[in-house]
Structure 1
């Protein structure tokens, strides 16, 4: 058996399964190229075998339908997508690993040369991060040689789908809670992976939250991490030092004035004792956190005892729960958002071929139809409010409209400077504020009208007719061949 550097072999069900030795499954930049679905590689190998791998192709990333209860999405994840494309490479050890699978034994030798020498050389058009978008609109378009545009699909969907979900939920949370509320991202322990926790923190901050408890994400993004304490500290110090009050005092000796978690035992009793110390000048307190119980009743009672101390609430909160708390006049100044922020209804983005070698193409599957050709989103306003979007072809001109897709990468090189989160956060806030109220509401939101341009309608019909014509020609050719073979016999 041929061996390759960095591989081990496991015999399972009479098949040789080979894997790169990294049982920890940690991800580095060098792994980007292999973080893909197998069929991306097999399709690229097929393209190469057929001699069409360098044909110019255009793929667009869009969402067929919004998650239930959503009236809009906030586009996010572009920065990580562009970083991925700029660093896209295959190492010799990765190529050896692919060869060692035995899956590619019929692949053309040019396929391996392509991987060894290749990098992303295409163009990318995208809506800026923080922009509100709707169903069937391209958030991003990749224009590149076919093999490149195909191989990058999985990673682009991974980062844009997830960050768009988090940014949208964060924007909705900010919209419901209001500008004065403090919103903290606490979702690291519930995110789907360590990598996802970093992306969730970034998207949450860009979507409108104030801070994150994720220390690595905060420091990498230039923020101060935030947090209070867990029940474990209160229970441990209470047991060893004698009381909950001593636990609070011990924590304040090391972190003076820090917010305290007060619902480990008796929330109101703890608030009363803290109020006595605050009123006597014995203690300074910057906040208390409630993590359980009837938050409406408890927040009002705590406020009566600690009128000048900010009250934070946490515990499986989301935009609907915050709306309920506000409607019930809960006295809460800030919220910690975790599980329901970083999980929930997925954004089901798709990445579809729309043009190959200048030929418009479309998917015609029932319920999954796509529009052909390279497209642009044209947005119109009534004053500062979004009136409608028009989905048209890139060859069309705006009609007193704002084109949303911008050129962000040319020939594999970024053409715009990397935006900081403050700018993206401001764009998110402005985008949400520009939407009609019926689009922003939580109950039965009405999405903005997306009109299909006349040019795109005509191209769609022409493409359908051409597809039907080609299919008929192929059937006719097959029938003739069959008849000729029959006559020959």
Structure 2
């Protein structure tokens, strides 16, 4: 694959059909307007002004009472590697879009690195609407250019981690939950992020081999209908398919619903009862999972039953309420897709001047902010959104300094640490916030100082607009 390091300066040699991504591509994985705005800032001589951007969601996805913040590790990795190589700059120059851009813009890109500070809530923390869970403080051009990638990784991983946390909450601590979503994820890169976020959100394992190896985890999976059909056709029986797979992978569950679920369970029961086979688990992928699981349980009482097939937290809740005999679930399509997390990344301060967006329905609060969280009886009681330098004795500030002057301050946390934080975050929420039917989110109060700054900023903005007229 051609990389940007290999390109001759001045030539647009990057065009090819692979559309794969490496860390050298990070800086160009952005929206065009990020680059055109950076060029404009440079032309106006304000590109080095200190700017603050905050990432938050205006509203929670429908049916969600909370979100689980995720994706920080990949965001920091991106910022640490952010740079433009000569071939990339040559490719941008060849586009014809930047004909009138100032010459110093190109030297800015060539010499530039991310040199800013980043504040963020730890991964696995429950968050709510209008709470900034990441803040970038950096020269204006840098803070602007990194917006697209930060939104991509934090929005998607937060979505998956939230779904995973809800699935764990509904299924219970003892249930086995496996991530099977690679084939339904929106891209190969998305599949890796989905696997990571799902594990950090509370799932036990992923079937994605690459993701598991990169994360230091052990992949988990079963078998597909193709093996059953192939061996049945070639060797004359479904039983031969089960015996063969069990011979090579004795610990893996057998998929028993290719033809007749109950019939397959009866034949397996004979082998188990005779001592011919020690079966650990079976998987059901279709049909009436309630009645089938009960029949299979009666035939194979000591065997774990795993269910799959477009399952989500609502379906798991229904299966449990109906008395289904299911020990674990394989989660795919509805875990890695669904209603997106609509995170936004907005400028809140420039050169120590607080700014705010006042568009109808899209108002933002000005200035650098902090989330102050308070508990009562071990339960999250209220969040207070205030200015970053406010003092609080009994409340816990959530945003922490994680990168300073472009250097990550600590190593990325382990999945187990994040998984435990996720579980504790969910456990701290009330039942009305965790419920699936019309959840009620946690109240987020606005501090007096933040409200005063908001009112003052509105007045100053209005005066500026009148002066311009």
TM interval, shorter chain, is: over 0.9
Alignment of 1:406 with 2:400, yes or no, is yes
1:318 match? 312
Counterpart for residue 12 of structure 1: none
Question: In structure 2, what is the equivalent of residue 356 of structure 1?
Answer: 350
Work out the CA distance in 2 between the residues paired with 1:470 and 1:116: 36
Q: Distance in 2 between matches of 1:112 and 1:409?
A: 26
Question: For residues 164-202 of structure 1, what are the alpha-carbon distances to aligned partners after superposition, in whole Å with 9 as ceiling and x for unaligned?
Answer: 000000000000000000000000000000000000000
Query: Contact conserved, 2:9 with 2:86, CA < 8 A, in 1?
Result: no
Contact 1:161 1:347 (C-alpha < 8 Å) held by counterparts: yes
Query: How far 1:21 moved relative to its partner?
Result: 2.1
Give the 3 Å change call, closer, same or farther, for CA 353–280 of structure 1 in structure 2: same
Pair 1:186-2:180 in alignment: yes
Unaligned runs of 5+ in 1: 10-17, 476-489
1:256 deviation in Å? 2.1
Is the 1:131–1:427 Cα contact (8 Å) retained in structure 2? yes
Q: What is the match of residue 83 of structure 2?
A: 89
Map Cα deviations across residues 138-181 of structure 1 (whole Å, 9 max, x no partner). Answer: 01000000000000000000000000000000000000000000
| Alignment partners' CA distance in 2, 1:44 and 1:7 | 22
Over 4 Å off, 4+ runs: 4-9
Partner residue in 2 for 1:439: 433
How far does the alpha carbon of each residue in 1:348-393 deviate from its partner, in whole angstroms, 9 at most, with x for none?
0000000000000000000000000000000000021000000000
Aligned residue in 2 for 1:346: 340
Contact persistence 1:257–1:283 (CA under 8 A): no
State the match for 1:133 in structure 2. Answer: 127
- Equivalent residue in structure 2 for 1:145, among 139, 143, 150: 139
- SS of the aligned residue for 1:400 comes to coil
Whole-Å separation in 2 of the counterparts to 1:50 and 1:185: 49
CA distance in 1, matches of 2:437, 2:246: 43
**Alignment partners' CA distance in 2, 1:183 and 1:312:** 9
**Whole-angstrom distance in 1 between the partners of 2:417 and 2:9:** 45
Bigger Rg, structure 1 or 2: 1
Distance 1:186 1:211 in 2: 9
Secondary structure (helix, strand or coil) at the match of 1:179 reads coil
Provide the C-alpha distance between the structure 2 equivalents of 1:199 and 1:232, rounded to a whole number of angstroms: 28
* SS at 2:200 equivalent: helix
Contact 1:57 1:144 survives alignment (8 Å): yes
Query: Aligned partners of 2:358 and 2:58: how far apart in 1?
Result: 13
Of 188, 197, 202, which residue of structure 2 is paired with 1:203?
197
Correspondence for 2:264:
270
Could you say what the CA RMSD is over the residues aligned between the two structures, in angstroms?
Answer: 1.3
Residues 1:35 and 2:29 aligned together: yes
Q: C-alpha separation between the residues in 1 aligned to 2:269 and 2:63?
A: 42
Partner of 2:3: none
Say whether 1:213 aligns with 2:207.
yes
Tell me, in whole angstroms, the C-alpha distance in 1 between the residues paired with 2:33 and 2:407.
27
TM-score w.r.t. length of structure 1: 0.94
Deviations 1:58-91 (A, max 9, x none): 0000000000000000000000000000000100
- The equivalences for 1:415-434 within 5 A come to 415-434=409-428
SS in 2 for 1:20: coil
Instruction: Give the match's secondary structure for 2:189.
Output: helix
Residues 8, 19 of structure 1: 8 Å contact kept = no
Superposed displacement of residue 472, structure 1: 0.8
Q: TM-score, normalised by structure 2?
A: 0.98
Q: Secondary structure at the match of 1:329?
A: coil
- 1:449 corresponds to which of 428, 443, 447: 443
- SS at 2:60 equivalent: coil
Q: 2:222 aligns with which of 198, 217, 228?
A: 228
Q: Distance in 2 between matches of 1:471 and 1:83?
A: 40
Q: Which runs of 5+ in 2 are unaligned?
A: 1-5
CA shift for structure 1 position 320: 0.3
Decide whether the 8 Å contact of 2:200 with 2:415 is kept in 1.
yes
Is the 8 Å Cα contact of residues 228 and 261 (structure 1) preserved in structure 2?
yes
Provide Cα deviations, 1:416-435, integer angstroms capped at 9, x if missing partner: 22100000000000000001
Partner of 1:484: none
Q: Determine the C-alpha separation between the residues in 2 that align with 1:120 and 1:7.
A: 23
2:326 equivalent to 1:332: yes
Q: Is the 8 Å Cα contact of residues 376 and 403 (structure 1) preserved in structure 2?
A: yes
SS at match of 1:258: coil
